[in-house]
Chains A and B, each alone.
Chain A
Amino acid sequence: LAKTTQPISMDSYEGQEVNITCSHNNIATNDYITWYQQFPSQGPRFIIQGYKTKVTNEVASLFIPADRKSSTLSLPRVSLSDTAVYYCLVGRLMNTGFQKLVFGTGTRLLVSP
């Protein structure tokens, strides 16, 4: 399983765009990149997943450069409710059997008024 490195914490203000970068130098050819959000005393929640280039959904965008050794989660116009811990995970989606997810330290995002 590819090891990931993220900043421990980030601060932002309401309405700003937040970009959280994750390094995964040992990513394998078949690995996908997935981001999760976790609020205190809750289970993680799936945000976005991608393999290469750019993926966008209703809550975030994921930018993956050509070498795939890093990825950036972009949260547009954050609000106070985006204060949470964000985890970047790298792993394989297998048709049979499921790869266990191993969480890194995550990035604690604090959004202030």
Chain B
Amino acid sequence: GAVVSQHPSWVICKSGTSVKIECRSLDFQATTMFWYRQFPKQSLMLMATSNEGSKATYEQGVEKDKFLINHASLTLSTLTVTSAHPEDSSFYICSARDGTRNYGYTFGSGTRLTVV
């Protein structure tokens, strides 16, 4: 149980374009989801907290106008990287927790973004 599906698993885009990443909770409702970014050989860095029906909360140093988060339903949050640059190339991961079950957060499989 508590499955989080992330799509796409990898994407290559040109500089200046935008890319949307989807995060879905398949068998539970997630009022809150989290978005992380991970560079090679580094730990996960929390980018923002996605709240259903309201604005996302961004961590310090994360540009909200560049990383647009939409959490329009209880099972879907999207992260859009706008005007992507090569330095945005990274591994993006979402997570959510099923509040009805007593175990930890479930993570998506991640999205490898390469900006060329």
* A interface residue numbers (CB < 8 A to B): 34, 36, 41-46, 49, 87, 93, 95, 97-98, 100-106
B108 touching A98, Cβ below 8 Å: no
Select from chain A the residue with minimum beta-carbon distance to B48: A100
- CB contact list, B73-110 vs A, under 8 A: 91, 93-95, 97, 99, 102-110
How many contacting A-B pairs (Cβ < 8 A)? 53
Asked whether, in the complex, the Cβ of A103 is within 8 Å of the Cβ of B44, the reply is yes
Residues of chain B within 8 A of A106, CB atoms compared: 43
Q: Mark B26-66, 1 if CB is under 8 A from A, else 0.
A: 00000010101000000111100100000000000000000
CB-CB under 8 A for A45 and B107, given A98-B99, A100-B34, A100-B49: yes
Secondary structure at chain A's binding surface: helix, strand, loop or mixed? loop
Q: Chain B interface (Cβ within 8 Å of chain A)?
A: 4, 6, 32, 34, 36, 43-46, 49, 91, 93-95, 97, 99, 102-110, 112
Question: Which listed residue (A41, A49, A102, A105) contacts B104, Cβ 8 A?
Answer: A49
CA distance A44 to B43 in the complex (A): 11
B29 to chain A, nearest CB (A): 12
Name the residue on B nearest A94 (C-beta): B99
Among candidates A43, A95, A98, A100, residue contacting B107 with C-beta atoms closer than 8 Å: A43
